Amino acid sequence: MIEGFMEAPVANAFGVLGAVCGAIWPLFRTRRSMLLVQSLIAAGFSVHYILLGAYTGAMVNMLAGLQALAAIPLGHRPEFRKVYLLTLPLLAVGVAATWSGLPSVFAACGMALVSLGRYQIDTMRFRLLLFASIPFWMGHNALVWSVPGLISDALGAVFVSFTILRERRALRRPVAQAGE
């Protein structure tokens, strides 16, 4: 695995950038901050996947970066939902144009859940849907031999689990205090 990592040092340097951001996005508390960091994930992994020749992953991540930025205003400008929804057909066309079999299936399924998650205003639903996308991205990353992608998936799963539990505890706290 380390040998494969060293065979593509530039590709993997961009992957490490994406992986670091992929690990830390769940630690942010606001939807806006999470989305800004996700746009950095997309930038790093776009270049990483291009250099690996994983073109569906690259295309999906390029569009995912734009989608993350388009999702930011959804919370306070509902009319912006139409702009966000326009990213969905672009993603479908991007997947179709770069189709490479099973890796494309995993990337498309993962991105569908990410897209649905980013459409959520509630951060718990947002986190849960992005958590649900991780097995699909793991499948994609295993098939295209992306070590940084797999590291990002593993760390992201741990951190998003932690933040989901943290958020659930915070939601239950006022109810427990009201009953005392």
Q: Mind listing the pLDDT tens digit for each residue in 163-173?
A: 999 989 988 87
Q: Which of 18, 10, 3 is nearest to 149 (CA)?
A: 18
Does the pTM exceed 0.85? no
Q: What pLDDT is attached to residue 2?
A: 57
The two three-digit tokens of residue 17, written as one number: 């950038």
Alpha-carbon distance of 26 to 77, in angstroms, equals 23
Amino acid at 54: A
Q: How far is residue 31's CA from residue 23's CA, in Å, rounded to a whole number? A: 16
* Integer Cα distance of 84 and 4 in angstroms: 37
SS (H, E, C) 65-125: HHHHHHHHHHHCCHHHHHHHHCHHHHHHHHHHHCCCCHHHHHHHHHHHHHHHHHCCCCHHH
pLDDT at 90 over 70: yes
pLDDT bucket at 103, cuts 50 / 70 / 90: very high
* Inter-CA distances, 46 with 9, 43, 57, 59, 62, Å: 15, 5, 7, 7, 6
Q: Residue 109 half-sphere exposure, CB side, CA atoms within 13 Å?
A: 16
Q: Domain total for the chain?
A: 1
Q: Would you place residue 79 in the very low, low, confident or very high pLDDT band (cuts 50, 70, 90)?
A: confident
Residue 3 has pLDDT above 80, yes or no: no
The parent domain of residue 116 ranges over 2-179
**pLDDT at position 7:** 77
Would you tell me how many other CB atoms lie within 10 Å of the CB of residue 139?
18
When the pLDDT of each residue in the chain is averaged and rounded to a whole number, the result is 89
Of 30-44, 68-82, 115-129, minimum mean pLDDT range: 68-82
- What pLDDT does residue 4 have? 60
Task: Please say if the pLDDT value at position 156 is more than 80.
Answer: yes
107 and 95 Cβ atoms separated by less than 8 Å: yes
